Chain A
């Protein structure tokens, strides 16, 4: 099936998310949409998928114009989409999720679950998915959940499959498996739209690359184009692909975690006997696929996990069992992974968000009273210093873009003397400019002599920022390795393979694994864009 987008424009208020975008996807072709976060890729695909009405422009399938009022119509026309944040209902079984919206029923509207099960098994066998139709989705690993999403599209006979940032949550090995699946689908004549900002996989899988920048198509490229070329096309200026940072000047080890264990409400050990140290002036990056205990680890240190045991000391002071306020008061700066839920109060002004965890400290308060003038002066100063783009410090922080919101969080957390800085997914969803800004600030804090702990699921970010890398798998520490460790070793470790075994396995396969070869060379030019 041939898909054509002509002059698609989508405006939100005065914001132009897509500006006259033209795109042609040929049958049996993998078409990559390359662009950084916020470039308008997802908006474009949501228009195609019937989630948004385009402001202007038309969609043609096999040359015939079509209008999709809702995703149901897009699906009926043979378009399937795997969303970056999976659209699965956690408390439903795989079969129920697959059936939803496309139910097979017996007379009287009763669900025919058996028919759905059969279809799932059939597709599972065809593509080697190994998915149990009766498993509850919330019990499945992320990689399997993604396959459920693909099954959802295939059950509906999708001819065009849109994959929105599909590798964001996968290990490198899982990514390779996904790329294999995409090749299989392509052989079956399906058209694939592959959305990504990761140059490595884009170059590897695509037949043709369309680069989008700030809502506009800025050009097309062959997969043979150089990494630097693609990166600058995507960002619109020459980008330094590596972060400039000096060697760490590490001091004393001040932050120690010993045998930290966290049990979740279901009684599972989500963090299992972790022990590690961070020295002053050093960045320890916690790598791992999302959902392997990172969230609980940071929450346990912060003091919001009720069932944590073990020991966490900062300068010899025990943090575990303290309240959040005491932990923050001990000099811990914390950037939570989900800024809109945990980092900011969306309807509060920027000024108030700038003091969200300092509201009862001098100079913002004395006794029970707060000092509004000091608070807004502080905000004005910080907005300037951190280049937060806003019409006013009284604007609700929720009206800001993701990058500016993150700058508010950073401004708040870095504005007091720190003895430990923890940032969880510090650049998730940010554009390149903001990413560079955040990274520079993190390294500056390190060079200031603060122990820094970065939690990131983006391997690129981990490799760039870290002085040492700790890999988590199912709540356990797989190993702590130097920042120079190769991507493949890290990838295997993220799948639970211990460091030495991973090294050995990578060496053994160095000659045969086609994906490993460009790795060593490609690492140099790799960036997190």
Chain B
């Protein structure tokens, strides 16, 4: 049945009234989905990375530092900081474990991040410039690990025990490594190589509009409004940024106008779906068509006629954060961003903290979960929804400015290219959580960037299939995950008072 159907109140009461302690029964519910899925992927991996591997070396260049001395210093400092952080987190973790108390969810995540940073800093300290992997050997090793993990998961399922979470995580990482080595080794050159730093930095850059888009989705869905119009918000944001920045000669005005444009799309969405109670999904879809037509029309009539005065916005250039930008690998990825990129980090943090730690967030989530309850404690449901939808639109609009102020410095027809929909998928993949959506968007950005890099070096796979990758990944993500995540209960349901 539809996953969006809200369980009737009575049923939820029933779930609530029963004690959660009956863990013994949980074993009866272990699904075969995980085991079979991993098994199929492991076989696929074996065929690709093992059987179809060639005997070339796959090269991964570590980004070369602009200032080696500064870079080394930064690497050492980062190494020290990361070491200290890892040690502290490990201590915390162990301490919690020993007390028998629950480990806060952020601790393992932060520990993992610290270790990754540690490793990258170590690479910088070692001044390693390039890693070359023999594709055949790595391919077979990865295949073996994948098959072993899948076998373990299936074994656990036969024992009616769920596979622990690390199995999936390790599987994903190993699969990714195997895939990268295989695909890079398949390049045209005799010793093909790609820039690892470029791959990662590009991923973050490509993820920028996705992150803004999915944050817009988070703000809207958390308050109970499905926002399909992200695509339109991005597009109008891009258009408006280009035109306003050109006309005023100031890219910052362009940036602001992008936010306003996104909010404008939201305004229509809000009026029609909240005030006039039209199905939210329908309004979103129609708005996307409207914005696409409108911007294309204006582009064809006005912008192409006089690009000099209407479609030459200039650029928001990347800004280095002193010192931090010099850290090898990490620096160029995180601290060599445009203003829009930094705004993205800020937006993720603000939305996350806002939603889960402030009065505003509490009310927003209440409206999205149970609008009647919110109404009975004096919260104006539709006003809250209206406000959030506008905010979401503004955020997506700013994300749209990425296309015309950062990525390319001119507007062109339908230049958002469906990223609004991928942002929507990132939101679901990220389980309606700003941080989750951010990470999911990074994943999609990675797929997107990998695709374009591979196309450049040439690949064993036809380019059209590489181009499919982000979309196929989205389908797999959405199909594989939805069963485990639950949208805000009132999402998509208009609120009729009285």
| Chain A residues within 8 Å of B374, by CB | 89, 100-101
**A267 and B26 contacting across the interface, CB-CB below 8 Å:** yes
Give the nearest-CB partner of B162 in chain A.
A267
B 355-391 binary contact with A (CB < 8 Å = 1; else 0): 0011110110110011011111111100000000000
B 9-47 binary contact with A (CB < 8 Å = 1; else 0): 111111111111011011111000000000000000000
Q: Give the residue of A101, A263, A337 whose beta carbon is less than 8 angstroms from that of B377.
A: A101
**B14 and A102 contacting across the interface, CB-CB below 8 Å:** no
Q: Let me know if B100 is at the binding interface, CB within 8 A.
A: no
| Chain B residues within 8 Å of A72, by CB | 377-379
A-B contact pairs, 14 of them (CB 8 A): A71-B378, A75-B378, A85-B9, A90-B12, A101-B377, A101-B378, A102-B377, A109-B359, A169-B13, A291-B17, A292-B17, A292-B18, A293-B14, A474-B18
| Chain B residues within 8 Å of A226, by CB | none
- Interface residue range, chain B: 35 or more
Give the nearest-CB partner of B497 in chain A.
A51
| Chain B residues within 8 Å of A75, by CB | 377-378
Give the nearest-CB partner of B17 in chain A.
A291
Give the nearest-CB partner of A474 in chain B.
B18
| Chain B residues within 8 Å of A152, by CB | 377
| Chain B residues within 8 Å of A341, by CB | 8
Q: Contact residues of A with B, CB < 8 Å?
A: 12, 49-52, 70-75, 81, 83, 85, 87-92, 96, 99-103, 105, 108-111, 137-142, 145, 152, 169, 263-270, 289-296, 307, 309, 337-338, 341-342, 474-475
**B369 and A268 contacting across the interface, CB-CB below 8 Å:** no
Question: Roughly how many angstroms separate A356 CA and B333 CA in the complex, as a whole number?
Answer: 59
Q: Give the residue of A267, A291, A293, A295 whose beta carbon is less than 8 angstroms from that of B29.
A: A267
**B362 and A291 contacting across the interface, CB-CB below 8 Å:** no
Q: Give the residue of A102, A110, A140, A268 whose beta carbon is less than 8 angstroms from that of B358.
A: A110
**A103 and B362 contacting across the interface, CB-CB below 8 Å:** yes
Given A266-B20, A291-B13, A295-B10, residue A90 in contact with residue B377 (CB < 8 A): no
Q: Let me know if B498 is at the binding interface, CB within 8 A.
A: yes
**A267 and B25 contacting across the interface, CB-CB below 8 Å:** yes
Interface residues of A, dominant DSSP: loop
Give the nearest-CB partner of A265 in chain B.
B29
- Which 7 A-B residue pairs are closest in the complex by CB-CB distance? A72-B378, A267-B26, A101-B377, A291-B17, A87-B373, A291-B14, A103-B359
| Chain A residues within 8 Å of B498, by CB | 12, 51-52
With A263-B29, A267-B22, A291-B14 already in contact, 5 other A-B pairs whose C-beta atoms are closer than 8 Å: A51-B375, A70-B380, A289-B17, A291-B15, A291-B18
**A101 and B379 contacting across the interface, CB-CB below 8 Å:** yes
Given A140-B16, A338-B8, residue A71 in contact with residue B358 (CB < 8 A): no
| Chain A residues within 8 Å of B15, by CB | 138, 264, 266, 268, 270, 291
Nearest CB on A from B276, distance (A): 18
**A88 and B373 contacting across the interface, CB-CB below 8 Å:** yes
| Chain B residues within 8 Å of A89, by CB | 365-366, 369-370, 373-374
| Chain A residues within 8 Å of B27, by CB | 267
| Chain A residues within 8 Å of B359, by CB | 103, 105, 109-111
Question: Roughly how many angstroms separate A75 CA and B377 CA in the complex, as a whole number?
Answer: 8
Given A52-B498, A100-B362, A307-B28, residue A290 in contact with residue B13 (CB < 8 A): yes
| Chain A residues within 8 Å of B357, by CB | 110-111
Question: Roughly how many angstroms separate A293 CA and B22 CA in the complex, as a whole number?
Answer: 14
Given A90-B369, A101-B379, A152-B377, residue A290 in contact with residue B23 (CB < 8 A): no
Nearest CB on B from A177, distance (A): 17
**A137 and B16 contacting across the interface, CB-CB below 8 Å:** yes
**A268 and B17 contacting across the interface, CB-CB below 8 Å:** no
**B22 and A269 contacting across the interface, CB-CB below 8 Å:** yes
Q: Give the residue of B20, B369, B497 whose beta carbon is less than 8 angstroms from that of A92.
A: B369
Given A263-B25, A270-B18, residue A99 in contact with residue B362 (CB < 8 A): yes
| Chain A residues within 8 Å of B10, by CB | 290-291, 295, 337-338
**A342 and B8 contacting across the interface, CB-CB below 8 Å:** yes
| Chain B residues within 8 Å of A307, by CB | 28-29
Question: Roughly how many angstroms separate A82 CA and B376 CA in the complex, as a whole number?
Answer: 10
Q: Contact residues of B with A, CB < 8 Å?
A: 8-20, 22-23, 25-29, 357-360, 362-363, 365-366, 369-370, 372-380, 489, 497-498
Question: Roughly how many angstroms separate A13 CA and B126 CA in the complex, as a whole number?
Answer: 79
Question: Roughly how many angstroms separate A421 CA and B439 CA in the complex, as a whole number?
Answer: 52
Q: Which of B29, B359, B370, B375 has the largest number of chain A CB atoms within 10 A?
A: B359
**A51 and B25 contacting across the interface, CB-CB below 8 Å:** no
Question: Roughly how many angstroms separate A309 CA and B365 CA in the complex, as a whole number?
Answer: 37
| Chain B residues within 8 Å of A290, by CB | 10, 13-14, 17
| Chain A residues within 8 Å of B366, by CB | 89, 92, 100
Give the nearest-CB partner of B13 in chain A.
A291
| Chain A residues within 8 Å of B23, by CB | 267
Question: Roughly how many angstroms separate A293 CA and B18 CA in the complex, as a whole number?
Answer: 8
| Chain A residues within 8 Å of B375, by CB | 51, 70-71
Give the nearest-CB partner of B486 in chain A.
A91
Q: Which of B14, B363, B376, B377 has the largest number of chain A CB atoms within 10 A?
A: B376
**A138 and B372 contacting across the interface, CB-CB below 8 Å:** no
Give the nearest-CB partner of B27 in chain A.
A267
Give the nearest-CB partner of A43 in chain B.
B498
Question: Roughly how many angstroms separate A169 CA and B13 CA in the complex, as a whole number?
Answer: 11
Given A267-B25, A267-B28, A295-B10, residue A71 in contact with residue B376 (CB < 8 A): yes
Question: Roughly how many angstroms separate A292 CA and B18 CA in the complex, as a whole number?
Answer: 7
Given A110-B358, A111-B362, residue A268 in contact with residue B377 (CB < 8 A): no
Nearest CB on A from B22, distance (A): 5
Question: Roughly how many angstroms separate A102 CA and B377 CA in the complex, as a whole number?
Answer: 8
**B376 and A263 contacting across the interface, CB-CB below 8 Å:** no
**B369 and A139 contacting across the interface, CB-CB below 8 Å:** no
Question: Roughly how many angstroms separate A81 CA and B497 CA in the complex, as a whole number?
Answer: 17
Q: Give the residue of B16, B360, B369 whose beta carbon is less than 8 angstroms from that of A291.
A: B16
Nearest CB on B from A136, distance (A): 9
| Chain B residues within 8 Å of A99, by CB | 362
Question: Roughly how many angstroms separate A291 CA and B8 CA in the complex, as a whole number?
Answer: 12
| Chain A residues within 8 Å of B28, by CB | 263, 267, 307, 309
| Chain B residues within 8 Å of A291, by CB | 10, 13-18
Question: Roughly how many angstroms separate A80 CA and B18 CA in the complex, as a whole number?
Answer: 29
Question: Roughly how many angstroms separate A101 CA and B377 CA in the complex, as a whole number?
Answer: 5
Q: Give the residue of B13, B22, B378 whose beta carbon is less than 8 angstroms from that of A73.
A: B378
Q: Which of B17, B26, B369, B370 has the largest number of chain A CB atoms within 10 A?
A: B17
**B22 and A268 contacting across the interface, CB-CB below 8 Å:** yes
Given A87-B373, A268-B22, A338-B8, residue A296 in contact with residue B29 (CB < 8 A): no
Nearest CB on A from B411, distance (A): 37
Q: Give the residue of A90, A101, A337 whose beta carbon is less than 8 angstroms from that of B16.
A: A90
Q: Give the residue of B18, B360, B376, B489 whose beta carbon is less than 8 angstroms from that of A51.
A: B376
Question: Roughly how many angstroms separate A12 CA and B497 CA in the complex, as a whole number?
Answer: 13
Nearest CB on B from A341, distance (A): 5
| Chain A residues within 8 Å of B363, by CB | 100-101
Question: Roughly how many angstroms separate A91 CA and B377 CA in the complex, as a whole number?
Answer: 17
Question: Roughly how many angstroms separate A73 CA and B22 CA in the complex, as a whole number?
Answer: 44
Given A109-B358, A341-B8, residue A268 in contact with residue B18 (CB < 8 A): yes
| Chain B residues within 8 Å of A105, by CB | 358-359
Question: Roughly how many angstroms separate A86 CA and B380 CA in the complex, as a whole number?
Answer: 18
Nearest CB on A from B368, distance (A): 9
Q: Give the residue of B20, B25, B26, B358 whose beta carbon is less than 8 angstroms from that of A139.
A: B20
Q: Which of A72, A90, A341 has the largest number of chain B CB atoms within 10 A?
A: A90
| Chain B residues within 8 Å of A309, by CB | 28
**B379 and A100 contacting across the interface, CB-CB below 8 Å:** yes
Nearest CB on B from A2, distance (A): 23
Give the nearest-CB partner of A12 in chain B.
B498
Question: Roughly how many angstroms separate A337 CA and B34 CA in the complex, as a whole number?
Answer: 35
Q: Give the residue of B12, B358, B497 whose beta carbon is less than 8 angstroms from that of A138.
A: B12
Nearest CB on A from B371, distance (A): 10
| Chain A residues within 8 Å of B370, by CB | 87-90
Question: Roughly how many angstroms separate A337 CA and B10 CA in the complex, as a whole number?
Answer: 9
Given A90-B16, A290-B10, residue A83 in contact with residue B376 (CB < 8 A): yes
Nearest CB on A from B440, distance (A): 21
